Amino acid sequence: MNVLIDTNVLLDDILNRSQAETARKISHLVEDNLISGFITANSITDVFYIVSKNKSGELARKIISDLLFTFLVVAVDGEDCLNALDLPLQDFEDALALVLCKV
């Protein structure tokens, strides 16, 4: 099963936020190769920025390295963004995730 992981799910796990337990379960499924986990490149930059602001740049680099070894990175292009805009969803990231689920 292919699963595109939302940035907030990654941050829930990394920053031990309110949904951390559920986010960790998803991460473990990917780590154990029970599902194929995908993230977008903008998730990587967002996670780096938020972790470096809230924790440290050194920790952010380690986390990004771990993410890159655990998850596959999905390319997002202009056509994907246009297709996401055509979907009747309020949350653009959710719409983009639906478009990218073609992986």
Q: What angle do CA 31, 61, 42 make, to 5 degrees?
A: 75
DSSP 28-77: HHHHTTSSEEEEEHHHHHHHHHHHHHHT-HHHHHHHHHHHHHHSEEEP--
| Residue 4, SS3 per DSSP | strand
Query: How many structural domains is the chain composed of?
Result: 1
Residue 102: the pLDDT is 66
- Write the CATH number for 36: 3.40.50.1010
Q: pLDDT tens digit string along 53-82?
A: 999 999 999 999 999 999 999 989 999 999
Q: What percent of the chain has pLDDT over 70?
A: 98
| Residue 14, SS3 per DSSP | helix
Residue 83's domain comprises 2-100
